[in-house]
Amino acid sequence: MTTPHENRLWHFLGSTQIVATTSTLGFGWHCLDMQHGLWTEEKILAAFAGQNTETLAVRLRSASYSDIGFALDAGATHVIVPMINTAEQAAAVAFAARYPPQGGRSWGPLTALTGSPVRSPAEANEQVHLTAMIETRHALANIEAILDTPGINSIFVGPFDLALDLGTDVDSLLRDPGSPLRRIADACNSRGTKVGAYAGSAERATAFTALGYDWAVADSDTTLLAAGATQSLQIPLPNRQSVY
Active site residues: 36
122: exposed, middle or buried (Cβ count in 10 Å: 0-12, 13-18, 19+): exposed
Please enumerate in sequence order all residues whose Cβ is within 8 A of that of 244, keeping only pairs 6 or more positions apart, or say none.
none
* CB neighbours of residue 83 within 10 Å: 18
Q: Is the peptide bond before 177 cis (omega within 30 degrees of 0)?
A: no
d(CA 188, CA 156): 10
* CB neighbours of residue 115 within 10 Å: 8
Q: Closest Cα to residue 4, out of 222, 204, 239?
A: 204
